[in-house]
Amino acid sequence: MKFTIHGVRGSVPTPGVEYAKYGGNTSCFEIETCESQIFCDAGTGFRSAKLLREEKNVCVFFTHFHHDHIQGLPFNNDLFPEGTKICISSALYDKQTTRAVLKQYFSACFFPVNIFENLNHLSVQSFDDAKDALKRDVDISFINLKHPGGAVGYSFVKESKKVVILLDNEFQEPQLDGLSEFCKDADILIWDGMFTKEELLGKRGWGHSSIEQAEEFTKLCDVKKTVICHHAPYRSDTDIDELKARISSGRISFGCEKMSFYI
Ligand SMILES: [Zn+2]
Ligand SMILES: [Zn+2]
């Protein structure tokens, strides 16, 4: 499968030359197989993704509904033409709640167009139904994470290949066993590295983990590659390069917009 990162930024998009190398768009990840095109979150990175609606089953799974994970949804032009259904789902809520939350966000007074009244081909499905529809191709599981308002992490497995996305999560020691098992043998793990260890001291309860925790977790767990994402909006390319230089493990990298992995 092909795994592409469309957005690496946490909280809010960050335009500007000092963010151009890693990218300023908010969370969006894509898994493409012969039959399916699966997105995890639709932050502003979703805007430039090419939707393969005519060729594949397109489904968007949301980790949670904070604005940096949903705000790009109606800005992808491929979403608008009538035609093949696009599935929207989340393991965080049942389908009625998923629909109600998105409907509220994408309608007046927050947004000019009510997306569910104007786009009949958007089909909100329960996680179980969406998982079932894709199960011959990709096996999808979820795990509850620690984040204000809740969030879920997803694992996508095709044959022996596995991608795990753990956004947004405030890592705590009691999660270690459950997350290790969930990430076991992952080819790629997306980690919430919003903060550094020092920054995290003043940000307890904000729902995010640190770059140093990515290192510790990767050391302890059976993960082939950890990609740190959800970069803080103030973190410039120079800052990330400096943090990168401090990491000795070859199994850890920093996510960069438009980075693709063939696994
Ligand atoms: Zn976020
Ligand atoms: Zn969040």
Global pTM reads 0.97
Q: What is the pLDDT of residues 126-153, one digit of tens each?
A: 999 999 999 999 999 999 999 999 999 9
Taking 90 as the threshold, does the pLDDT of residue 157 lie above it? yes
**Contact status, residue 158 vs residue 141, Cβ threshold 8 Å:** no
List the structure tokens of 39: 């997105």
Find the 109 Cα to ligand 2 centroid distance in Å. Answer: 22
Find the 65 Cα to ligand 1 centroid distance in Å. Answer: 9
Closest CA relative to residue 193, chosen from 167, 172, 173, 163: 167
Find the 54 Cα to ligand 1 centroid distance in Å. Answer: 30
User: Which amino acid is present at 31?
Assistant: I
Taking 90 as the threshold, does the pLDDT of residue 83 lie above it? no
CA distance 197 to 185: 26
Per-residue pLDDT, averaged over 69-91, amounts to: 95
Q: What is the pLDDT of residues 182-233, one digit of tens each?
A: 999 999 999 999 999 999 999 999 999 999 999 999 999 999 999 999 999 9
Find the 240 Cα to ligand 2 centroid distance in Å. Answer: 21
DSSP 211: H
Name all contacts of 24-27 with Cβ < 8 Å and 24+ positions apart.
24/257, 25/72, 25/257, 26/68, 26/69, 26/71, 26/72, 27/63, 27/68, 27/69, 27/167, 27/229, 27/230
Q: What is the pLDDT of residues 164-175, one digit of tens each?
A: 999 999 999 999
Find the 68 Cα to ligand 1 centroid distance in Å. Answer: 5
The pLDDT of residue 184: 97
CA distance 138 to 125: 17
Which ligand ends up closest to the CA of 41? 1
Topology, domain 2-262: Metallo-beta-lactamase; Chain A (3.60.15)
CA distance 122 to 99: 10
**Contact status, residue 226 vs residue 218, Cβ threshold 8 Å:** yes
Find the 70 Cα to ligand 2 centroid distance in Å. Answer: 10
Which ligand ends up closest to the CA of 233? 1
H helices present in the chain, as ranges: 67-70, 95-105, 115-118, 127-134, 176-183, 197-201, 211-220, 237-245
Cα angle, residue 42 at apex, residues 37 and 44 outer, rounded to 5°: 125
Find the 206 Cα to ligand 2 centroid distance in Å. Answer: 9
CA distance 141 to 61: 11
CA distance 62 to 200: 25
